[in-house]
């Protein structure tokens, strides 16, 4: 029964993640609730292989319909992979409670900005010239890669915000770009999880199938409904990230 329920959550996570990122906010908590005795590395590793394949399908689906700027994407992906490892290393030495209140304030600011700016990401207005674009993309990848390694939830959503607000992509292009960047970073982390035997394939493979199905449906809907639909889903997911971080910060103060 637990696996059947987790597969349903995996479909929902893939659907959300393929549109604006943040699927981990659904799938990882469900994993912990349904399999409370599993060690954390096994949960993260098994979830990662499912989400990585689902994100790959979404990236492929977007690539068929949306023009993806491959050079900045590769720069962002490689820097994200490197800094994700660095973030995980720092996290092991520094308690995340140190930075979580600052991150919470930044995410609230992102939510307010997106809500008030009704045309956010609706039209593409590039702010960076072509020569400097790979460098800026690498900077976004590095910053969010470090965040992913240090704390994690909602990295795809924050990547989208960075590509829209800094570079000037519309939300549909930013969603497609963030999926490819996520795939590169996920593959790098999967090497660690698989080689250390943290992936439980009897759980990972079924949820992978449902995550892929959700990703396929979600990416199709994003391309069909366009930027206005993506903005609404983005706001809902960012609100979820705020609630998650707010709860973590309150718990850390209560200790």
Q: CA distances (Å), 75 to each of 135, 137, 143, in order?
A: 7, 6, 13
Please write the tens of the pLDDT for every residue from 162-218.
899 899 898 888 888 998 898 887 787 788 788 888 889 999 999 999 999 999 999
Q: How confident is the model at residue 130 (pLDDT cuts 50, 70, 90)?
A: confident
- The pLDDT score that the predictor gives to residue 208 is 95
DSSP secondary structure code for residue 107 in this structure: H
DSSP secondary structure code for residue 96 in this structure: G
Average pLDDT over residues 2-23: 89
- The pLDDT score that the predictor gives to residue 151 is 66
Within a 13 Å sphere around the CA of 27, how many CA atoms are in the beta-carbon half?
A: 34
Please write the tens of the pLDDT for every residue from 33-67.
899 888 878 888 888 888 889 889 988 888 888 88
How many residues belong to the chain?
Answer: 255
- Residue 174 near residue 164 (C-beta atoms within 8 A): yes
- Residue 158 near residue 84 (C-beta atoms within 8 A): no
Query: CA-CA distance, 153 to 133, in Å (whole number)?
Result: 26
Tally of CB atoms within 10 A around 189: 20
- The pLDDT score that the predictor gives to residue 209 is 96
- The pLDDT score that the predictor gives to residue 124 is 74
- The pLDDT score that the predictor gives to residue 74 is 92
Report whether pLDDT(30) > 90.
Answer: no
Please write the tens of the pLDDT for every residue from 83-129.
988 887 776 676 656 666 776 787 787 778 767 777 665 767 777 88
Q: 230-254 burial string, b = 16+ CB within 10 Å, else e?
A: bbebbbebbebbbebbeebbeeeee
Q: CA distances (Å), 173 to each of 8, 111, 121, 161, in order?
A: 28, 20, 9, 11
DSSP secondary structure code for residue 97 in this structure: G
- The pLDDT score that the predictor gives to residue 75 is 94
Q: Is 201 exposed, middle or buried (0-12, 13-18, 19+ CB in 10 A)?
A: exposed
- Residue 27 near residue 9 (C-beta atoms within 8 A): yes
The region of weakest confidence among 71-85, 152-166, 211-225 is 152-166
Show me where the domains of the chain are located. 2-254
Q: How confident is the model at residue 28 (pLDDT cuts 50, 70, 90)?
A: confident
CA 88 to chain centre: 16
- Residue 163 near residue 174 (C-beta atoms within 8 A): yes
């Amino acid at each position: 029964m637990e696996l059947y329920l987790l597969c349903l959550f995996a479909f929902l996570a893939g659907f959300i993640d393929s549109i604006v990122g943040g699927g981990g906010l659904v799938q990882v908590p469900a994993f912990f609730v349904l399999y409370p005795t599993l060690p954390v590395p096994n949960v993260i590793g098994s979830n990662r292989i499912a989400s990585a394949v689902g994100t790959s399908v979404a990236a492929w689906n977007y690539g068929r319909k949306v023009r993806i700027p491959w050079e900045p994407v590769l720069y962002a992906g490689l820097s994200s992979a490197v800094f994700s490892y660095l973030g995980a290393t720092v996290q092991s030495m520094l308690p995340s409670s140190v930075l979580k209140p600052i991150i919470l304030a930044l995410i609230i600011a992102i939510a307010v900005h997106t809500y008030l700016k009704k045309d956010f990401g609706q039209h593409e207005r590039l702010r960076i010239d072509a020569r400097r674009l790979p460098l800026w993309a690498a900077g976004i990848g590095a910053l969010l890669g470090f965040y992913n390694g240090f704390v994690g939830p909602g990295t795809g959503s924050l990547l989208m915000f960075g590509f829209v607000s800094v570079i000037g992509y519309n939300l549909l292009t930013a969603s497609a770009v963030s999926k490819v960047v996520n795939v590169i970073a996920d593959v790098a982390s999967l090497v660690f999880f698989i080689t250390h035997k943290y992936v439980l394939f009897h759980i990972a493979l079924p949820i992978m199938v449902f995550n892929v199905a959700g990703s396929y449906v979600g990416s199709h809907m994003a391309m069909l409904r366009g930027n206005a639909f993506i903005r609404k889903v983005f706001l809902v997911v960012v609100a979820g990230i705020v609630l998650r971080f707010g709860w973590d910060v309150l718990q850390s103060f209560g200790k």
